Amino acid sequence: MEHSYLQSIVKQFQYYNSLGDQTMANLNFADLQKEFAPDSNSISIIVKHMSGNMSSRWTNFLTEDGEKPWRHRDTEFEDTFTSKDELISAWEKGWDCVFNAIETLEYNDLERIVYIRNQGHTVTEAINRQLAHYAYHIGQIVFLGKLIKGTEWQSLSIPKGQSENYNQDKFSKEKGRRHFTDQK
């Protein structure tokens, strides 16, 4: 029971990672760079920002401030990717940093204090802060993908008009403890 938070948080991060993966897999490089209004962020820019944030926050997570001196946040909002492969590589590098840090945590680490811009957080608070931050941006990525694809969009959750069927399937299964991302 004491490890349920750590197991759950890994699954939550995996879930949001997969939403971004699925969205980007269905878009070409021009789609990923599309900005809908002046000064808005394209998926490409959001990915660059998230990757920079992930690298900064999760590198030496327990021993260094989460805002690294080598991070230049303002440049994360300049689209400099030259290909979809480069963008995906940055995305994966960021997520690798997240998972490498989280998957090595132990239950006893959860109350340790870590810092982000000299503000102390318990490890649990820092994890929750980052999960909320990434969910916010991945929601933007998915929404932009949906706008770009229009009627060709394939829903990443319960499609409109399918809630009854979805619930009928879920309630046809025996009650049991499982994570919502588990399809069993």
Query: DSSP assignment, residue 67?
Result: S
Residues 35, 45: Cα–Cα separation, whole Å: 9
Domain layout of the chain by residue ranges = 4-154
Query: DSSP assignment, residue 79?
Result: -
CATH class for domain 4-154? mainly alpha
Q: Does residue 1 carry a pLDDT above 70?
A: no
Q: Are 14 and 148 in contact (CB under 8 A)?
A: no
pTM for this one?
0.92
Query: CB neighbours of 101 closer than 8 A, spacing ≥ 6?
Result: 58, 59, 61
Read off the pLDDT of residues 8-48 as tens digits, 9 standing for 90 and up: 999 999 999 999 999 999 999 999 999 999 889 999 999 99
Identify the band that residue 134 occupies on the pLDDT scale cut at 50, 70 and 90: very high
Residues 98, 180: Cα–Cα separation, whole Å: 21
